[in-house]
């Protein structure tokens, strides 16, 4: 099993298929949305990773810090804010999430 990251567009297609599977054929939706049916079934069997959950949690904190600074703080200052709150993360991770 590869640890390849599913692109956001593909993830949205899979979510759409999941929410409409009772109305339309999965095979037809996959073909029309340009995604692999096997990929959809793999996506169903594997919930969101721990790293993705932690990234989402950190992103909420980053957005709060950025908003509190009225959009002035960059990654180094946001990282300092997070560390002052006792959140451990790297400068590279904050930079990636702020992009």
Mind listing the pLDDT tens digit for each residue in 42-84?
A: 999 987 788 988 999 999 999 999 999 999 999 999 999 999 9
pTM of the model: 0.61
Contacts of 87 (CB under 8 A, 6+ apart): 58, 61
- Provide mean pLDDT across the span 93-98: 95
User: Tell me: the pLDDT tens digits for 17-43?
Assistant: 999 999 999 999 999 999 999 999 999
Q: What pLDDT score was predicted for residue 26?
A: 96
pLDDT at 1: 42
pLDDT at 48: 79
For the chain, helix, strand, coil in percent to 5 are 70, 0, 30
Query: Does 3 or 21 have the greater pLDDT score?
Result: 21
């Amino acid at each position: 099993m590869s640890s390849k990251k599913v692109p956001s567009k593909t993830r949205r297609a899979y979510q759409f298929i999941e929410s409409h599977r009772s109305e339309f054929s999965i095979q037809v939706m996959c073909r029309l949305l340009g995604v692999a049916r096997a990929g959809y079934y793999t996506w169903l069997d594997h919930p969101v990773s721990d790293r993705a959950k932690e990234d989402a949690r950190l992103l909420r904190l980053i957005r709060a810090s950025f908003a509190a600074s009225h959009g002035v703080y960059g990654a180094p200052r946001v990282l300092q804010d997070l560390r002052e709150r006792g959140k451990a993360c790297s400068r590279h991770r904050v930079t990636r999430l702020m992009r």
